[in-house]
Amino acid sequence: MTATFTEQIPQHGLIVSCQAATGSPLRESLIMALMAESAELGGAAGLRANGAADIAMISSRVDLPLIGINKLGEPAGVFITPTVQAALEIVDAGATIIALDGTQRPRPDGSSLADQLAKIKAETQVPIMADVDTVEAGIAAREAGADVVATTLSGYTDAGDGGPGPDLGLVTALAAAVDCPVIAEGRIRDESEALAALAAGAYAVVVGSAITNPVLTTRRFVERLGTFAS
């Protein structure tokens, strides 16, 4: 029997997202595994990674819970683990938790979220985390069978609100509305924002670019230094 989400990830834990987009100098599975090893040494409670190749490499080198996603299709639509087969592929590769798009947008194969979750659960006992964009989507995802909801897609769809930092309002609203862990993910740039997410009711937080994207970190420094009046 696969451990539940809360058995795998401790409350108030840090989950580090180890991903690099196509075109990044870091876009190699081994490099993502080394990022994951570094996160483990730093005390991360869990990891998030994309695609069977990266997940297999990471799981062979790191002994941490691994939230797997499988990005397929165009980012403008449902592309985070959009099908049952996409979910099963990452479980076979070593994911101990599945994350998928839990928004209320149409799914590429025409199925409902509830149908997708039911079919995944018929094949595997791995906990499922729904990445959502609004409180309504979070409630619907929980009712459809998601074990956990995350604020990952806030600001990345036509619904909900976006902003420069994490959507703390959505964290608070979800924590009051659903009877499952709420994960804060998206645009968490430093420790103060991570702490604010926990204070808003998040069970745990996912941090990606602020830890594992040196291009973005460098750009922020350069832009900030550019504001210095000489």
Pick from 51-60, 86-95, 217-226: least confident: 217-226
- Give per-residue pLDDT as tens, 49-69: 999 999 999 999 999 999 999
d(CA 14, CA 187): 14
pLDDT of residue 8: 98
- Give per-residue pLDDT as tens, 113-170: 999 999 999 999 999 999 999 999 999 999 999 999 999 999 999 987 778 889 999 9
**Residue 48 confidence (pLDDT) above 90:** yes
